[in-house]
Amino acid sequence: MTVEISRTPVLYLSHGAPPLADDRVWTAELATVSAAITKPTAILIVSAHWEAAPLTLAATETVPLLYDFYGFPDRYYEVQYAAPGAPELANQVRKLLQSPGTPVYDDPTRGLDHGAYVPLKEMYPDADIPVLQVSMPTLDPAELFAIGRKLAPLRDQGVLIVGSGFTTHNLRAINLSGRPDGPAPTWSVEFDDWARRALAAQDVDSLIDFLHKGPAAEIAHPRTEHFAPLFVSLGAAEESLGTAETVVDGFWYGLSKRSWQLG
C-alpha cells in the first residue's frame, strides 16, 4: 500500500508593520492560517524588505533580528524571535538556484527583517521551526516567478514557502492617523478586487503584468516591492493555483490585507 504525501502549501501574506501585533483580529487570522497547515519542517520566506542581487541567503544560524523601521515606540525594538537557523535548507536552495552565471551569495550576519518575523511570530510563536530568509534579486515578476518554480520541490520535503508583502501598499496615500479599520480608498479596493479575481481565474499573465492590467496599479504600488513576493509564491505553487484560497482579507489603514494559501 502506497501512502500519498501531500505537498506543503505555499503562502502569500500581507505582513503588516510592527503594530500588527496589537491587532487582535489580524493576529488571530494568522494563527488560524498556521493551525490549518501541518507543521512545516522549515520555512523559507521572501520579504518585501530585502532586495539584494545576486540572490542572497540570510544567516543560517540564529542572529539578532533586523529592526528595519524607524520612529516606533521602544517596545517594538524589544521583540524577539529566535527561530533556529536552517543550514540544510540553505544548501538545498543553493543546489536549486545556483548555476553557471547565476551565483547565490550568503550574508551570515543578516537577521530576519520585520517582513519575516512579524507574521511568523503570530503564526508560530514558539519559534521552534528553522527559518531561512532569501533576498529578492529583482522586482521583475516573471523572473521571481521562475525562482519560485525552481523552489517548488522543497514543498515535497515539508518546507513552507512564504512570500511576505502587502496586496496594496502606498503609505503616502492613506491616513495613518485614522482608524485601522476605517474605510479604504477606492484605489485600494479596486486593486484588491482585481487581484482576487485574477488569481481566482488563474490569470498569471495578467498578474505578472499587473502594472498595466490592474486598476490604479501605480497608486496601489508606486514601488512594487510589496507585491513582488507574490510571484515567488505563484511560481512555487504553479501546479496548484486552482486551489488558491483567501485566508485573510479586509483592510488596515486602507491597505489590503488580502493573503492567499496556494495548494
* Torsion angles phi and psi, residue 262, rounded to 5: -120, 120
Query: Is residue 122 a part of any domain in this protein?
Result: yes
Query: Is residue 181 a part of any domain in this protein?
Result: yes
Q: Tell me what pLDDT residue 5 has.
A: 56
Q: Round the average pLDDT of the chain to a whole number and report it.
A: 95
Location of C-alpha cell 536552495: 93
Query: Is residue 4 a part of any domain in this protein?
Result: no
Specify the DSSP class assigned to residue 102. Answer: B
Phi-psi region of 230 (alpha: psi -120 to 50; beta: other; left: phi over 0): alpha
Query: Is residue 143 within 8 Å of residue 232, measured between CB atoms?
Result: no
Q: Identity (one letter) of the amino acid at 43?
A: I
Residue 52: count of CB within 10 angstroms of its CB? 15
Residue closest to 163 by CA, chosen among 107, 115, 118: 115
Q: Tell me what pLDDT residue 255 has.
A: 96
Q: How many angstroms separate the most distant Cα atoms in the chain? A: 60
Cell for 89? 535548507
Can you state the angle between helices 24-35 and 114-123, rounded to 10 degrees?
70
Query: Is residue 1 a part of any domain in this protein?
Result: no
Percent helix, strand and coil across the chain, each to the nearest 5: 40, 15, 40
What residues contact residue 222 under an 8 Å CB cut-off, 6+ apart?
A: 170, 172
Query: Is residue 2 a part of any domain in this protein?
Result: no
Q: How many domains does the chain have?
A: 1
Cell for 191? 486593486
Q: Which domain holds residue 17?
A: 10-262
Strand partners, 163: 12, 46
Query: Is residue 34 a part of any domain in this protein?
Result: yes
Q: Which residues of the chain are under the pLDDT cut of 50?
A: 1-4
Q: Tell me what pLDDT residue 69 has.
A: 94
Query: Is residue 3 a part of any domain in this protein?
Result: no
Query: Is residue 118 a part of any domain in this protein?
Result: yes
Query: Is residue 44 within 8 Å of residue 159, measured between CB atoms?
Result: yes
What CATH number corresponds to the domain at position 38?
3.40.830.10
Which stretch of DSSP H or E encloses residue 251? strand 251-252
Residues in the chain: 263
